[in-house]
A = this chain, B = another copy of it.
């Protein structure tokens, strides 16, 4: 059972649920439960099937593929307002996961039982539209990612990654490598190159972009 405050934040974050008829909304809220998950938790993993439909309130989920040699590659990130489409995929396709989901920060999420999820999907276009959109976006993301991994050089991918991170970047080289699916040393090496070009300033767990324009030009090349 959710508190009034959580309900508010929940509906704030997922506006399409506000459009449900009152009784359906109430029913949905009645079956939902709130979960707290500490940062670092593995929320799901390969070959593991799923229980409910999670809707994020706060915190991100990193969805990754791990290689047998200990490297990893981030497929995408789930942010509040987005829900994890992989779960939907599981619930709808009855297939197990094929990736690992890790809580990047502490997470608050509302979990709908599978039955409620199906009911919403059957009865309400807006919810359906929302889920389809998520699928659609993920497909697009993944196609983009495949293309990047297959055809782009690492330095460009790194540049793009940096550009798309907001503000002063706080991350270890290892973390960046894990996002790119590469090794820490390579990232260090490339960053050093960027620094020598005067594009970034490096510090411990910190990267400051000093010449966005140049970096962007390099990335777009």
Contacts and interface: CB of A to CB of B under 8 A. Distances in A.
Interface of A: 65, 67-69, 71, 73, 75, 85-86, 88-90, 92-93, 95, 98-99, 121-122, 125, 128-129, 132-133, 135-140, 142-147, 149-151, 181
16 contacts: A65-B143, A65-B151, A69-B151, A73-B150, A86-B139, A88-B132, A93-B132, A93-B133, A95-B136, A98-B140, A98-B143, A122-B125, A135-B135, A139-B139, A139-B142, A142-B143
A217 B22 CA distance: 58
Contacts of A89: 135-136, 139-140
A146 B92 contact: no
A73 B142 CA distance: 14
A86 B143 CA distance: 11
Contact of A65 (B85, B86, B95, B150): B150
A128 B127 CA distance: 13
B149 A95 contact: no
A65 B147 contact: yes
Most buried by B among A88, A132, A138, A181: A132
B65 A146 contact: yes
Contacts of A128: 121-122, 128
